Amino acid sequence: MNQVNVEPEQADYQTSSRIVSVEARTIRVPLDHHTAFSTRLVTARDYTVVRVTTADDRHGIGFCYSGSRAGMLVTYAVRELFAPLLRGSCALDVEGLWRAMYDESLLQGRAGAVMRALSIIDIALWDRNARAAGLPLSRYLGGTSSATVPAYASGGYYLEGKTPGHLGEEMASYVALGFSAVKMKVGRLDPRSEEARIRAVREAIGDDVLLMLDANNAWSDVPTALEYMRRYEPFNPYWIEEPFSPDDIESHAQLSRRTPVTVATGEIEAGRWRHQELLDKRAALILQSDAAVCGGISEWRRIAASAAAVGVTMCPHWFHDLHVHLVASTTNARYVEFFPDDQVLNFRRLVDTQLSFADGRLIVPTRPGLGFDFDEAALNEYALDDWS
């Protein structure tokens, strides 16, 4: 029998990188004001947060938006499906652990809550390993030395009593902060009312600011979408985001051929295979894949590579604290979605460090790993359960 000799240094890092715990808890943060998209009203955000600790007492963190209710489904998947599988494994074996988790969850997962649980753990592993290397995550992923990345200010939600004039003022306030690209919600009201909202925003921000439109799955058929788009097109939107259900890839493809406005989607999509269908059908020229949803950093990078091969741009959805690192380390990624306040992305209340920005660009963190930790006091304030 051949004996494999393990160098002492290799044995050391394998031992020190052994996973000793995978902990998760569910956090529910109420919104200060009930907020609406095209089809949904949100009163609170559920988040699942994860902490992976290794034998050398290093840790990494992961997180995901787990819905407006029942976020404990994601937490349960972390605890019961994946944590027992990972304990005792080497945290450096990110690819192998991703495959093991995917295979373990074939019957329960491949999308939704279980894939979000897998994503959270994958993020925590990358964070732990970057911290152990003493590198910011963007540099650990092979990113350039650029100190900043472009961002757009995201907002424009529907609130009770919010007029088109109020909406225009909100968008103009983001431009005053230095952002040259902004995003607003569309699709909840009738076509004439939506046209009035967009007109007010364009007049408020001027012609030189990029205006993104987010429909949040508003429409169920292409003719209805075209009725709205004909009213939107004169205001030169940069993209129309999520016009249909994420499962209705064919309608995305049909709309992309019938409007001059770029179609963007993918924020709820999971796995490289479904993203490949979007690419094959030319259903979107911008993918908004979310690393906390699609399968973690590992899967996001695979999706980005596939998109690069066909000239598609990555503009990831939500969690600017995470995606700043991915945009900084991906050649075909352009914008980070940035939330200037904590009213909608109230995850901001759960972390100890906020991203800095200047002139519409986010400053890439230089601390090891993601560059922040959870604020334990805030977690305790909003938690539905304990670490376990």
What whole-number distance in Å separates Cα of residue 381 and Cα of residue 388? 17
Out of 185, 275, 323, 325, the active site residue is: 185
Nearest to 16 by CA among 46, 59, 48, 49: 59
185 is catalytic: yes
From residue 18, alpha-carbon distances to 83, 87, 92 in Å are: 13, 8, 9
Q: Which positions ≥6 away from 377 have C-beta within 8 Å? A: none
- Cβ atoms of residues 220 and 243 within 8 Å: no
What whole-number distance in Å separates Cα of residue 265 and Cα of residue 331? 19
281 is catalytic: no
Out of 317, 320, 323, 325, the active site residue is: 317
In this structure, how many other beta carbons lie within 10 angstroms of the beta carbon of residue 112? 16
- Cβ atoms of residues 111 and 102 within 8 Å: no
Beta bridge partners of 150: 361
Nearest to 53 by CA among 89, 80, 81, 77: 89
Query: What residues act catalytically?
Result: 185, 317
